[in-house]
């Protein structure tokens, strides 16, 4: 049996196997809100929509 405990990326508590990698539905929702709000971004070489063509 492994002693490596996966931690929730939001709060650091041990993750719940049913909600992995999160510990709760709340932390999963916090992460989703960050993605939808633009906090997390995937960097690209392409210009943003408002910087280029109209």
Domain with 14, as residue range(s), is 1-39
* Averaged pLDDT score across all residues of the chain: 86
Task: State the Cα–Cα distance between residues 37 and 47, nearest whole angstrom.
Answer: 19
Q: Is 4 annotated as a binding residue?
A: no
Residue 28 in domain: yes
* C-alpha 46, offset from chain centre: 23
Which pLDDT does position 10 carry in this prediction? 96
Task: State the Cα–Cα distance between residues 17 and 11, nearest whole angstrom.
Answer: 16
- Looking at the 3D structure of the chain, how many domains does it have? 1
Residue 22 in domain: yes
Which pLDDT does position 1 carry in this prediction? 53
| C-alpha torsion sign, points 42, 7, 25, 20 | positive
Confidence bin at 4 (pLDDT 50/70/90): confident
Q: Is 27 annotated as a binding residue?
A: yes
Q: Is 8 annotated as a binding residue?
A: yes
Confidence bin at 6 (pLDDT 50/70/90): very high
Residue 52 in domain: no
Which pLDDT does position 44 carry in this prediction? 87
């Amino acid at each position: 049996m492994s002693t490596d405990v996966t931690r929730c990326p939001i709060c650091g508590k041990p993750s719940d196997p049913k909600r992995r990698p999160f510990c709760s539905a709340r932390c999963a929702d916090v992460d989703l809100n960050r993605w939808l709000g633009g906090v997390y971004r995937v960097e690209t070489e392409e210009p943003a929509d408002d910087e280029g063509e109209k």
